[in-house]
Structure 1
């Protein structure tokens, strides 16, 4: 396992971090605990020491599960990161109650990394107005938070405003070789590097989209490095950035765990030709996608019961998969009729929560029309 040491923070983190938001679940959305425990422990045994969860992940199952899964693992063997759900906080008292619950769920008196979760302009201004930043700083003085940062989903101007507001220990941004100009993007990366704020990277494989490329693009990468998976290319691109402390991967199967471990055990920086090849791959992908959904599920649950992420996952896959059955079968056999877009009530809640700022109701209607038109495979 490769590590990044940051002396000012007093940490030596694994370059691969375990993002816990995508543990495998059953049809009811309940975490498959045996499989998830095996995945997490395999990563820990291989040297992964950064564990990332959040208050509401997987319908608020994630923190309690991670707390149970880490029982018996020496606390000094890993860094634990979780987040304050900023959209649920209307007072310091609210934040205090959530923090106490997180300590209970995760069976830990302190958190190595604590984040204001999913900041945009409005949420940031609200956190300042309510005194939540000062409250977190007090928790840090008390040792309950070891390192204080934030995760971010807005444009670069807002990112710069937040990053320059105070001296942050770290921050977490979305970055991958396809989305270099989205949200904070590479401009945000360079600013953080200039201000000496180390970065945690989320969505390095864009919710799995960069692990399942169209056949022609995957073949182009395989011709250059047949031993690397498509996901490995994406992870290596991000890991090659020197101001990155940890690259989070939301792993949902043991196969993905093993592939990622292989990447970070034999990590090689991309050379010039490989960088050019990825730029070409990104250009091709930009011409083929329907919208920018990453499957983060921040929009869920939908009040009308619509399965928003599945609509967009299958819609985006239409021009990216090699077998039409991979779209037709889940759309017609797995997605329940009551979870389809014709039940959308247009309340707009999902748009307010979407980190990608997608026009969700409009795109849902387009997605359903396109998916309904997919021919049944032979």
Structure 2
């Protein structure tokens, strides 16, 4: 299969629309069905989910909205082996079989080692995770094997030099904010993937929505150049324009997003030199206005002993840091969230969140900043 000839746009299923944002299983199937159907009608076929998405229920949601409603040959399905979750060789097999059941399929078109990094690499070597997925490919249970990666270029090179023969592609976080960020290093990681001739799928091209709702000053630069296109289109086109990238994912949860993204990705046109210059200026403005580079993936919350709503607090904190006047509305949101979640001040410093964070953020330090903004001299409701 020549991956570089594949359609450049995929549907990311990490943030499917919900009826109740506090309940990760309350899927809005009426809307999800319409979104999936429209995406398929536009000529696109690739759906990306994972074992851990939506509190370990994401695969089942994709089965109900996609697999049970469309012929198997009308779509491509990707899911992932959770590297933090499996215990040993037998557990990998158990999880894989469970995923086939969750999704209601006999094979996966694409299958990835999920969230590879220094915290799980030695574990994968110990239990032969790389050999496991290759074996499943040989058995016909997987068509294309890959790895999603969140770590340093140096580790990526080590992995590809040792295990690259078994990997058909790499999934990387690439966007114009993380292009030179020292904690992500999108550009360098992409260069390593190109060095080893590994085609790349891009995740987080809009950085969890950060590059959709950008400062007015930055948005003006884009609108002055082309007033008819969305800010999201700039982010997706930046990612898709990079050498070696064969697909860009977008986690769409509204019809407007599906219609917009499919419109410019159907006949993709790479960024020109002038557009790239605008992107660089936009990135500078955003970096000056974003205190915490969080993508709201929520990996940090899965094992938090205090049930602290970390991404939600960081979103409110970023909003406050961009505000020059009153921030009473953000305070109200913080107080409401704290009723059913741990306050930022309840952090015990165990740092499991930092070990889980794909962005390698100093979360416990940032939580102290949140405390300063939201809890000092503020009345927080008692949690039920």
Alpha-carbon distance change, 141 to 337 in structure 1, aligned in 2, over 3 angstroms: closer
Alignment CA distance shift 1:239-1:108 (3 Å): same
Structural mapping, 1:196-345, within 5 Å: 196-265=197-266, 267-301=268-302, 302-320=304-322, 327-333=330-336, 336=339, 338-345=341-348
SS of alignment partner, residue 211 of structure 1: coil
Name which of structure 1's ranges 178-187 and 44-53 shifts more when overlaid on structure 2: 178-187
Q: Deviations over 1:84-131 (max 9, x none)?
A: 001112211000000000000101111111111101123122111111
Distance 1:194 1:348 in 2: 34
| C-alpha displacement of 1:78 | 1.3
| Equivalent residues of 2:300, 2:354 under 8 A apart | yes
CA distance in 2, matches of 1:108, 1:271: 41
- Find the aligned partners of 1:237 and 1:325 in 2 and give their Cα distance: 36
Counterpart check, 1:28 vs 2:3: no
1:267 deviates by 3.2
Contact conserved, 1:213 with 1:320, CA < 8 A, in 2? no
Residues in 1 aligned to 2:217 and 2:255: alpha-carbon distance in whole angstroms: 27
- Displacement after TM superposition at 1:197 (Å): 0.8
Counterpart CA distance in 2 for 1:79 and 1:109 is 13
CA distance in 1, matches of 2:301, 2:259: 29
Give the Cα–Cα distance (whole angstroms) in 2 for the partners of residues 174 and 303 of structure 1: 28
- Contact preservation (8 Å) 1:159, 1:184: no
**Counterpart residue number, 2:381:** none
RMSD: 2.2
Cα shift readout 1:252-271 (whole Å, capped 9, x = no counterpart): 22222222122213533221
TM-score of the superposition, structure 2-length normalised?
0.90
Distance 1:27 1:250 in 2: 16
The equivalent residue for 1:3 is none
Question: 1:36 is paired with a residue of what secondary structure?
Answer: helix
**Counterpart among 5, 9, 12 of residue 19 in structure 1:** 12
**Does structure 1 residue 58 correspond to structure 2 residue 54?**
yes
| Greater mean deviation of Cα atoms: 300-309 or 180-189 | 180-189
Which of 122, 125, 132 is equivalent to 1:125? 122
CA contact (8 A) 1:314 1:327 kept: yes
Aligned to 1:96: 93
Distance 2:168 2:185 in 1: 17
- Structure 2: which 5+ runs fail to align? 379-384
Describe the superposition over 1:177-217 as per-residue Cα deviations: whole angstroms up to 9, x where unpaired.
Answer: 11112435212212222322100100100110000001111
SS in 2 for 1:299: helix
How many residue pairs end up in the alignment?
368
The 1:336–1:13 alpha-carbon spacing in structure 2 relative to 1, beyond 3 Å, is farther
1:161 and 1:358 map into 2 onto residues whose CA distance is: 23
Q: Distance in 1 between matches of 2:288 and 2:377?
A: 20
- In 1, Cα distance between the equivalents of 2:40 and 2:89? 35
Structure-2 separation of matches of 1:41 and 1:212: 26
Q: TM-score, normalised by structure 1?
A: 0.91
- Provide, for residues 205-235 of structure 1, a one-character-per-residue CA deviation record: whole Å limited to 9, x for no partner: 0110000001111111111111111111111
Match of 1:67 among 63, 66, 73: 63
Hey, what does 2:39 align to over in structure 1? 43
- What CA distance in whole angstroms lies between the structure 1 residues aligned with 2:180 and 2:232? 20
1:147-226 residue pairs with structure 2 within 5 A? 147-165=144-162, 166-167=164-165, 168-182=167-181, 183-226=184-227
Q: Assess if the C-alpha contact under 8 Å between 2:39 and 2:262 holds in 1.
A: yes
Q: Distance in 2 between matches of 1:169 and 1:203?
A: 20
Q: Assess, with a 3 A threshold, how the Cα gap between structure 1 residues 202 and 327 changes in structure 2: closer, same or farther.
A: same
